[in-house]
Structure 1
């Protein structure tokens, strides 16, 4: 599973999240609500995911279930965005490992 998550992060950074890439990407980010200046971002599994662990997750939880989530400060200064993203991503990785085993 960690390979699918790493591939997703690379694609996200290189290509941005748009278009019909569900099968290739296997995962997606879904922006949620803003509360107290922080936007909740959810990691969800695409229904066309080919990774075995992700397929099991979708069968058990549906493709709309949140595999992981994190918050990002919407007022973060531009120079701190890379560090904020890294912190966000580390939290996502921990949750994915815990949720998929």
Structure 2
């Protein structure tokens, strides 16, 4: 069985970490510190990252790679999330 699951089920933290080139610990830390984790979780199951969640952490990676401090990158990334926790288009972030 592969870590790469069908898009409807989402990616595991390990699969997403490999895709982004960061460690699973980094993703868990961003979730804990900045609230940048999967929007939906099932009790007793592994985190599954939806396409919207993936877009959010991709933006976090882009901003930190460009030199933004992680806390500031997380703040800007969270601004791009709509009220239901879904990612908004990057153009919606104007601050």
Structure with the greater alpha carbon radius of gyration: 1
Task: State the TM-score, normalizing by the size of structure 2.
Answer: 0.31
Which has a greater percent of strand? 1
Q: TM-score, with normalisation over the residues of structure 1? A: 0.30
